[in-house]
Structure 1
Amino acid sequence: MQQASDAISELDLNAYVDEQLDDWQRLRVEDHLARHPEAAARVMQDIRLRRELRLALAPAGTPTGAHRAGAAQLSRALRRDERIRRAIRLVPVGLLVVTGWLANEGFGPLSVGKVVASQAPPPVVSAALSAREASLVRLPMRSQPQASRLDPAELRAATGILLPRFDRDWTIRDAQVFPSPQGPGIEIVFDAGDLGRLTHFAVRTGSFAVTMPHVETHGRENVAWFQIGETAHVMIADRGDVASLLGIAEQLSSTLY
């Protein structure tokens, strides 16, 4: 009998997970997985993640009590975020300027510290900032090779990370697998027009979540983050405003559904 499984590639495995193969091709892949337990475990993990995303994002026919409770919690969070954004848009600019000045100067009950965030950033943000610092040191060095070609399928096969669809007008300066406390992550450095030097860092956190994009300022850089499934994504830009970066984060997150 011909050893059909020897011809199986990572692209075949990804197509198997995405249910893009016919019955004969699926048999070939399953024969390969029967001979390679490590590949089988990775494929089963990808299938589980795909099903979790499908269940989380698709409307349920007959929801259970747990599903209804989770949906209610997500609905409250979405309404809260929308109310906050609507309120911010309605606040007069002059009032924001005065309030910010009073808070910065430390007058009265408005006194706050130098850094105030509406939501505490997850640990992956620290890993992304460390990766960016390393990349900014590495890029000017002639002795450090840079990878300007991006192969999402190869990176997913090696790390299990699904990347979003980036803007085609962005220029890739470097793409590296970077270590982090959460495990191997992918850092990509772009020249992104009005956003300047933008880095995208993605890593599997080990826990499932669907988190709306958030953005805040760290020093002179704007940082946005969100999580879809088990993968968290962080973007850091050295130019532009927080609204522009938040819009980019929302666009990228929608390409992962």
Structure 2
Amino acid sequence: MTPLPPLAPNAWLRWDLVQRMLRRIGPVRSVLEIGVGQGGFAARLATGLESYIGYAPDQDAWLIASKRLSDIASARVLNACLPEGPLFHADLICAFEVLEHVGDDVQVLKQWGEWLAPNGVMMISVPSRPQSFGHWDVAVGHYRRYTADQLERLFYQAGLKDVEVRGYGFPLGLLLDLVRNRVLSISAAGSCEHRTSRSGRLYQPATATAPLLQATMMPFRLLQRLWSESDLNTGLVAVGRKPT
């Protein structure tokens, strides 16, 4: 069996919360992921499903993600943006670190919701702490960061119910944000779309470092659970259901 892809430190913090929230959602048969990146989460989500379909607009990231999911017969990764109208309906829609890249987030979330099956679940992750918007956000094409209240209202405005928002990242996430902002000076070269497309490829760990990185991150994954509702968290994960 192909080893799971490595995750960057911040992605490990995010996955720890995502994994726990997925358990609370319960079993799902089909997943649609919007913005697959290099497939780090996709390889973990797709295992054991009847159907996994992911959309990866960036060709370089798509090539890597496709290879990483090639052993999973029920999984497909498409090198395309999500079409405007639904071609199928999924039990779970995921978009990790995508919504902050779009201008009209309410309208986009409504469009994504059209792909949900009745009583299906939307799961979104976004960066938090708007006051921390900095060099990194500009360089990767972010329009904004969110507070928990803003993200909760957004879900309700998009017609979802039973919304829950939790945070992750404190305390290590604050240091990671500081380092990224110091290392990556402001660079607005290229369009926002260009900066967005490259965002999933920046600072990705080498496969050889995966075991060490996973072990190193475990204490921080456990520590952050003590502050899941703190305003000091650097990321948010939200879930909401589509009414039947």
TM bin, normalised by shorter chain, reads under 0.3
Query: Which one has more relative contact order, counting CA pairs under 8 Å at least 6 apart?
Result: 2
TM-score, normalized by length of structure 2?
0.23
TM-score, normalized by length of structure 1?
0.22
